[in-house]
């Protein structure tokens, strides 16, 4: 699926045109984008709170199913609230440091996925974790996915009977 055009690759994964500047910061072993890093402001001036976006199909599907099974509540119950609050602050600080100097328009707010507290979206936490973010929820997601096995017992797949899987090999950029 990967081409030499990051915009076309990401457009195909999103099912729409990207609405702002981004960089592909993680690719799978086939070269397809898995995580993009968004600019803090969309092309129309709208703030973009989600710095890291999970775009890889297989990873998204695995997280969709984890969320559908109560993963957001389970993750929030499993991680230390103080550690999660500090992660939100680190994420916001990194994103906010990329707001263009002199920007007078609205600014992004919140931490991971735009929330100030708790867990809103496992996809956003996992995306940040995959690219090196110190995120207790992303770490929890990775642990949950590591326990999943496919029909042949291979790691990284969603529970038995589910067709999705987490990409087995990921690479930066």
Q: Range with the lowest mean pLDDT among 61-70, 106-115, 149-158?
A: 149-158
Helix (H) or strand (E) holding 54: strand 52-54
Task: Report the pLDDT averaged over residues 91-100.
Answer: 94
CB 126 within 8 A of CB 59: yes
pLDDT score of 4 more than 70 = no
Each residue's pLDDT tens digit, 34-75: 999 999 999 999 999 999 999 999 899 999 999 999 999 999
Mean pLDDT of the chain, nearest integer: 85
Between these two residues, 72 and 4, which has the higher pLDDT value?
A: 72
The helix/strand/coil state of 22 is strand
**Half-sphere exposure at residue 17, Cβ-oriented, CA atoms within 13 angstroms:** 5
Q: State the DSSP code for 35.
A: E
């Amino acid at each position: 699926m990967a081409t030499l055009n990051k915009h076309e690759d990401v457009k195909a994964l999103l099912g729409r045109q990207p609405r702002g500047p981004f960089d592909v910061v993680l690719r799978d072993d086939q070269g397809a984008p898995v995580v993009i890093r968004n600019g803090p402001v969309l092309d129309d001036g709208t703030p973009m709170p989600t710095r890291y976006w999970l775009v890889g199909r297989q990873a998204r599907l695995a997280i969709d199913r984890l969320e559908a099974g109560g993963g957001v509540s389970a993750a929030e119950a499993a991680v230390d609230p103080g550690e999660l609050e500090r992660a939100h602050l680190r994420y916001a600080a990194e994103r906010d440091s990329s707001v263009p100097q002199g920007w007078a328009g609205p600014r992004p707010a919140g931490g991971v996925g735009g929330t100030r507290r708790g867990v809103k979206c496992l996809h956003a936490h996992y995306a940040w974790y995959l690219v090196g973010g110190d995120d207790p929820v992303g770490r929890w997601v990775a642990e949950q996915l590591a326990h999943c096995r496919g029909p042949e017992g291979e790691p990284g797949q969603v529970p038995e009977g589910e067709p999705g899987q987490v990409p087995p090999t990921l690479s930066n950029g």
